[in-house]
Amino acid sequence: MLRSLLGQTAEARAETFLLSHGLKRVARNWRCRFGEIDLIMQDGATLVFVEVRLRNRSDFGGAAASVTLAKQKKLLAAARQYLTTLKSLPPCRFDVVALSGDAAPEWIRNAFDDMG
C-alpha cells in the first residue's frame, strides 16, 4: 500500500513537471494485457510514453538505470497495443522521468527506442 502511494505521488510529480514543460496529458496509468504505461503525454505532434521511476538511493545506478531491457520490452508491447486504438500513427518516443528524493526530476527524452 505504501509502495502504491509512493508510486502515485511520483507519477503526479512527474506529470506536473512535464506539464510545466509544455506537454499535455493524454492518459495516466494506461493498462493492457502487456502491462501499464505510467503517463502518455503529447509533446507537439509527438506522442510520448513516459516511464516514471522513483529511487531513494542511487545503489545499482539509481532510478534511470532501473528501466531494464525487460521493462523496455514490456513498455514497447503496451505502447504498440495503445497505438492500435488510434486512427493514425503519430511520431512517438519513450521518455523516462527519474525521481530521487527531493532532487529535481531527471527527464530523459528518447530514453530508448523500439530497437531496445
* Residue 20: alpha-carbon gap to chain centroid: 16
pLDDT on residue 116: 45
pLDDT tens digits for 86-114? 999 999 999 999 988 778 899 999 998 76
- CATH code of the domain in which 61 resides: 3.40.1350.10
Backbone angles phi, psi at 34, to 5 degrees: -90, -15
83 touches 89 (CB < 8 A):
yes
The C-alpha cell 516514471 sits at 52
pLDDT tens digits for 38-83? 999 999 999 999 999 887 655 545 556 667 888 899 999 999 999 9
Which range marks the domain in which residue 80 is found?
2-112
Which of 43, 38, 45 has the alpha carbon at shortest distance from 14?
38
Q: Check whether 32 has a pLDDT greater than 70.
A: yes
Rounded Cα gap, residues 102 and 116, in angstroms: 30
Count of domains observed in the chain:
1
The C-alpha cell 530497437 sits at 115
Higher pLDDT, residue 36 or 62: 36
- Calculate mean pLDDT across residues 18-26: 98
